[in-house]
Amino acid sequence: MFKELDGFIQKVKEPHLHALLLSFFGDKEFAKNFCQHSAAKSVHHGFIGGLLEHTLSVTKICDFFCTLYPMINRDLLLTAAMFHDIGKVNELSDFPENDYTDDGQLLGHIVMGVEMIGSHIREIPGFPPVLASELKHCILAHHGEFEYGSPKKPAIIEAAALNFADNADAKLEIMKEQLASATPGEWIGFNRLMDSNIKKTVLQ
């Protein structure tokens, strides 16, 4: 999966965004930590490698959006997709604990991710200020709504696309995990995260 994610990194042509991606994912220690991390404590992708799997899926969905809506800045959206949950490497502790750190509880992965990206941006000469703000905005707005933890609502098309991709992968993974042990046709009960009683499709 990391090799596939690296393929998307190589497709980002804007030099500052490409350099920023390499400053994280080209660092072997960071890359190892990223690959071993979960994407959540329990909601979705709460397993070793979950953060990488979720990030790759969101990146793929965003890449598809770019083929449907050419006005999207592809380099910006793909970079935002690969960075959207980067703060989770510090929000959650390593396995076997996989629990919230103090900073995770106090700050959360969205704010932490923007801080991490900002510190790396300052080390890249000539990084365009507007591009930096647009990238940070995508991260800040990727949960879409204030009640879901986003400090900002999406104000640019790339942020909206990232929010839809993140939400789609998270919700479908929730369904996948909940239905994994169900038999075809079985109603498994009300799911709080889906806000619905859910059932496994009969024909699969």
Long-range pairs for 122-128 at CB < 8 Å and ≥24 separation?
A: 123/23, 124/16, 124/19, 124/20, 124/23, 126/16, 127/16, 127/20, 128/16
pLDDT tens digits for range 14-46 = 999 999 999 999 999 999 999 988 776 666 666
pLDDT tier at 145 (50, 70, 90 boundaries)? confident
- Res. 194: pLDDT tops 60: yes
Q: What is the mean pLDDT of residues 137-143?
A: 95
Average model confidence (pLDDT) for the chain?
90
Q: What is the pLDDT of residue 112?
A: 94
Question: Number of H helices and number of E strands within the chain?
Answer: 10, 2
Share of the chain above pLDDT 90, in %: 63
Is residue 20 within 8 Å of 120, Cβ to Cβ? yes
Query: Tens digits of per-residue pLDDT, 93-129?
Result: 777 777 788 888 899 899 999 999 999 999 999 999 9
Round to whole Å and give the CA distance between 147 and 74.
28
Measured in Å, how far apart are the chain's first and last C-alpha atoms?
A: 26
**pLDDT band, residue 204 (cuts 50/70/90):** low
Task: Determine contact, residues 174/194, Cβ cutoff 8 Å.
Answer: yes
